[in-house]
Amino acid sequence: MSFIATTRSILRGGVRRATALLAAAAIAVAGATPPAGAQSTRGLPVIRDAEIEGLLRDYMTPIFRAAGINEGVVEITLINSREFNAFVADGRRIFVNIGTLMDAKTPNEVIGVLAHETGHIVGGHLARLRLRLEQAQTMSIVAMLLGIGGAAAAISSGGQHDGGAVMGAAMAPQEAIRRSLLSYQRGEEEAADRAAVGYLSKSGQSAKGMLTTFKRFEDQIAFSKRFIDPYAQSHPMPADRIANLEAIAKKSPFFDKLDPPALQARHDLMRAKLFGFVDTAQGVGRRYPPGDNSLPARYARAIASYRSSSLDGAIAQIDGLIREQPNNPWFNELKGQAYLENGKPQQAIPPLKRALALAPNAQLVRTMLGQALNAGGGKTGGDAVAELTRATARDPKNADGFRELAIALAKKGRIPEADLATAQAAFASGDYGTARQIANRAKAGLKPGTPNWLKADDIATYTPPKRD
């Protein structure tokens, strides 16, 4: 389920490719350096960043409460793609392209997108769509067989026939099924839109950001929409969505309510951070020229500087940010990251410790601290083991944390435990075959029945769910 309107072929050559609606294709951004780190999850280039993830959680908390969802149940995952899109893959995960965050000028625009995806989760749309697809597949096979049977009958009777006409007759029912499925999906998109407006109103927020997004889409297709068949789309046309939502959105007493200034400031810093990491230095300079002395502009330029020019110059810029906001953990994190990625792990440790003191629940910062301790904290890796054990215990999908933990444990000669951490890293990355192999090796060196042995056994005996 995606937020934007995209045309997908559902029944080309039968419904065997229908699950393209349900699976995300692999996407990448050339030349992009992820903020703080990226991990590949089942073919998707996933970005992990403590600052951005924390902001998105703050965006979603009132929406989840309005929708009656336990906020700890649904995860938000960042995808390294510049396209404006978001989608749900099941009832527990919302995927958001970083392009959505970079293009949205206000928090409310992003919150509207997330509210829409929450509508899909609450409505159980994905499960129902799977059922529809299964039904469509059966109907498609029947239609195909009937078409082939008709062609065979015409040939066996020796009658005259037009091959193209026979094929067209065979494919016509499939086209009808395809359009029926698309119509069904458009209905679900409209239902998710309406649900989103309800969540926004219930949480005291405006739906204006949703309308802004739809108007952006409308502007983008202004020159081509006369060539688009609205009945061959998986989503309603932007103009139709605006017309359907504008009246009910404007009835809300919160329609003209603006985002809190503090939230807008965090949003602006998030966008600057993403542009700083994703754009080239020249692109950052055009978007945030030297004459722009705002905090977001200086944040973006500092990131671009440490990535593309001298470290000393970048550190001077980052220190300027820290002087202005000494209690901002992310400026301290950036300083540590700049040192670490430029081969100076010892210098990275103090600012990372400061960042962690300011944001003690930021396990990704704790992971980076563990990496710095691994690289520059001596041969024993003792401090690194403690930090990384804590980070991975609280964030079990932290593949980078498990990899660093394996290094720290190996330095201490704790090889079976290092094997277990390596298996956990592979498991967190979705590489279940490698995870099973290394987990079995870890089991051979661990005492049976102990917690670590049981963890290794869970991985070694895990069977991933069948994919559509």
Give the tens place of pLDDT for each residue, 111-150: 999 998 898 888 764 544 455 445 545 444 444 444 444 4
- What percentage of the chain carries pLDDT values higher than 90? 57
Residue 228's CB: how many other CB atoms inside 10 A?
A: 13
**Domain 293-460, architecture per CATH:** Alpha Horseshoe (1.25)
State the number of CA atoms in the 13 A half-sphere of 9 facing the CB.
Answer: 7
Q: Give the Cα separation of 198 and 249 in Å (integer).
A: 9
**Do the Cβ atoms of 6 and 219 come closer than 8 Å?**
no
Confidence (pLDDT) at 158: 55
Q: Give the Cα separation of 408 and 406 in Å (integer).
A: 5
Confidence (pLDDT) at 191: 83
The confidence band for 194, taking pLDDT boundaries of 50, 70 and 90, is confident
Domain ranges of the chain: 1-125+186-292, 293-460
**Do the Cβ atoms of 463 and 436 come closer than 8 Å?**
no
Pairing status of strand 75-79 against strand 86-88: unpaired
- Find the helix or strand (DSSP H, E) in which 350 lies: helix 345-358
Phi and psi at residue 413, to the nearest 5°? 80, 15
Mention every residue, 6+ apart, whose C-beta is less than 8 A from residue 304: 276, 279, 280, 281, 284, 285
Q: Give the Cα separation of 381 and 463 in Å (integer).
A: 34
Phi and psi at residue 97, to the nearest 5°? -70, 140
Higher pLDDT pick, 247 / 49 = 49
Give CA separation, 150 vs 53, 127, 164, 174, 459, in Å.
57, 35, 13, 15, 53
pLDDT digits (tens, 9 = 90+) for 183-193: 445 567 878 88
- At 50, list the tokens: 């403590």
Q: Give the Cα separation of 361 and 28 in Å (integer).
A: 29
